[in-house]
Amino acid sequence: MDEKLKLENKRHPEDLTDKAFHIALYLKAAHGALEIVSGIILLIIKPETISSLVEKLTTGELSEDKHDFVATHVLKLTQHLTEASLTFAAIYLLAHGIARLVLVIEVFRDHLWAYIGLIIFTAIFVIYQSYHMIVHFTLGFLVLTIIDLIVIYLTQKEYRRHKAWHQARSSA
């Protein structure tokens, strides 16, 4: 009876991996929410508005240094925006953000299927990000891919732990 009470009150001890996993989940949830908000904004805003805003924001910097790396690249990027590219980006961000947020919420609710879903979902984006880096390498995608690989590792560890806890609880 005492063992059953322990299982009811505490799934497993919180170690460094568990804490890192929870921090990663909170960050993934925040990232998902930010993607949803960004997707909504991209559906509302026009390419000309973005180009105009970026032009205003970079004018001061470019007047000081005509070769400013960030300002020139951001300005070039916004000059090629189209309605179709913004719509694609918005749908991508909305789908990714909603799926990520739902999976994270379900992991917090301790649904075992959500752990597997989060692993698969994240792995699909790791594959996409890897392909993107082969075609056009960016440091941002490299960092994102490394973080996602760490999240996959932590998620599979937590999944095994929670699966064992569920099995022990049902047999107790």
- What are the residue boundaries of the structural domains of the chain, listed by start? 15-171
Whether residue 12 is predicted with pLDDT greater than 70 in this model: the reply is no
> Of 6 and 157, which is predicted with more confidence?
157
Whether residue 157 is predicted with pLDDT greater than 70 in this model: the reply is yes
Other CB atoms closer than 10 Å to residue 70's CB: what's the count?
9
Q: What is the pLDDT of residue 114?
A: 96
Whether residue 1 is predicted with pLDDT greater than 50 in this model: the reply is no
Whose tokens are 């699966």? That residue is 163
- Mean pLDDT calculated for residue range 33-54: 91
Whether residue 171 is predicted with pLDDT greater than 90 in this model: the reply is no
**Helical ranges in the chain per DSSP H:** 2-9, 16-44, 47-64, 69-79, 83-108, 112-135, 139-171
Whether residue 166 is predicted with pLDDT greater than 90 in this model: the reply is no
Read off the pLDDT of residues 72-129 as tens digits, 9 standing for 90 and up: 878 887 877 888 888 988 998 999 999 999 999 999 999 999 999 999 999 998 999 9
Q: What is the pLDDT of residue 11?
A: 53
Q: What is the pLDDT of residue 73?
A: 79
- Which residues, 6+ apart, have CB-to-CB distance to 112 below 8 Å? 159, 162, 163, 166
Q: What is the pLDDT of residue 9?
A: 44
Judged by DSSP in three states, 109 sits in: coil
Mean confidence (pLDDT) of the chain: 86
Residue 33 confidence class, pLDDT cut points 50, 70, 90? very high
Distance CA 85, CA 138 (A): 19
Torsion of Cα atoms, 72 then 48 then 140 then 123, to 10° = -160
